[in-house]
């Protein structure tokens, strides 16, 4: 029997992207349950999500993205959980490919790409994709991560104190509990370039390079606090 899939989307002030994300997942060739967790939004995110998603949780106060993902997972009914940022979506047929390789201990992500034509964006994702292909970095390519619900709850979900690096932290903890990390190269996650354009490509790239080096040596908390006060 086919596995049921739940898409969990945390969203804060995402009225420009939330409908696109939901529509992209609805148009997959595999049925999905879509859960949107609205977190301290001041725009029309909740109303737009309510009109399209299967379940919408609304938290007026700011709860943080890790808490939002955990809240969504608790109400999800799918065996396969796909966590997606509101400005990200999967290529056509990707959900079926994820289901095909997901067992009880599976966690993973896939190739990434920009949601529009951009030379700088293409160069950035070329570097990030090869970092994953070569296993230099085991993480998430811009906002989409999948796992079986068994390993998710066995691991205890996302660390709700993490403001950055929550996927990497989850992956490390899950692998200690027997999780198998998989990186799919036959499908893609597309994401908005807005954060890179707002903060600058070079600045954002070097932020993650520095963070990753510090993460390896368990020195990332001080760096995180400096940028997320």
Pairing of strands 88-90, 80-84: unpaired
Confidence band for 200, pLDDT divided at 50, 70 and 90: confident
**Region 2-28: what's the mean pLDDT?**
97
Helices 220-227, 201-216: axis angle to 10 degrees equals 150
Which stretches of the chain are DSSP H helices?
18-26, 45-50, 65-75, 94-101, 119-133, 149-155, 166-175, 194-199, 201-216, 220-227
Q: Quick one: pLDDT at residue 229?
A: 47
Q: Quick one: pLDDT at residue 220?
A: 59
Output the six-digit token pair for 209. Answer: 């390079």
Confidence band for 129, pLDDT divided at 50, 70 and 90: confident
How would you classify residue 183: left for phi > 0, otherwise alpha for psi between -120 and 50, otherwise beta? Answer: beta
pLDDT beyond 70 at 105: yes
Domain 5-116+138-192: CATH class, spelled out: alpha beta
b/e map 74-113, b = 16+ CB within 10 Å: eebebbbbbbbbbbbbbbeebbebbbeebeebbbbbbbbb
Element (H, E) at 85: none
How many CB atoms are located within 10 Å of the residue 218 CB? 7
Which residue's entry shows tokens 């290529």? Answer: 91
Average pLDDT, the chain: 89
Q: Quick one: pLDDT at residue 212?
A: 62
For 64-101, how does the pLDDT look when each residue is reduced to its tens digit (9 = 90+)? Answer: 999 999 999 999 999 999 999 999 999 999 999 999 99
Query: Which has more confidence, 188 or 218?
Result: 188
**Which residues have C-beta within 8 Å of that of residue 124, sequence separation ≥ 6?**
114, 196, 201, 205
Domain chopping of the chain, boundaries: 5-116+138-192
Confidence band for 181, pLDDT divided at 50, 70 and 90: very high
């Amino acid at each position: 029997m086919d596995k049921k899939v739940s898409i969990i989307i945390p969203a804060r002030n995402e009225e420009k992207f939330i409908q696109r994300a939901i529509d992209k997942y609805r148009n997959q060739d595999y049925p999905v349950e879509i859960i949107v967790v609205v977190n301290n939004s001041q725009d029309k995110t909740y109303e737009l999500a309510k009109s399209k998603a299967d379940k919408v949780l609304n938290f007026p106060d700011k709860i943080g993205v890790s808490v939002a993902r955990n809240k969504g997972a608790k109400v999800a009914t799918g065996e396969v959980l796909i966590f997606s940022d509101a400005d990200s979506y999967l290529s056509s047929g990707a959900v079926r490919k994820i289901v095909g390789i997901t067992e009880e201990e599976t966690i993973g992500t896939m190739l990434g790409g920009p949601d529009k034509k951009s030379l700088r964006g293409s160069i950035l994702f070329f570097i990030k994709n090869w970092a994953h292909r070569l296993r230099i970095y085991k993480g998430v390519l811009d906002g989409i991560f999948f796992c079986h619900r068994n390993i998710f709850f066995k691991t205890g979900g996302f660390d709700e104190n993490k403001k950055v690096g929550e996927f990497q932290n989850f992956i490390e903890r899950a692998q200690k509990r027997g999780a198998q990390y998989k990186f799919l190269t036959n499908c893609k996650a597309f994401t908005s370039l807005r954060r890179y354009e707002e903060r600058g490509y070079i600045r954002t790239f070097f932020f993650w390079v520095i963070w990753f080096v510090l993460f390896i040596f368990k020195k990332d908390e001080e760096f995180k606090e400096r940028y997320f006060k």
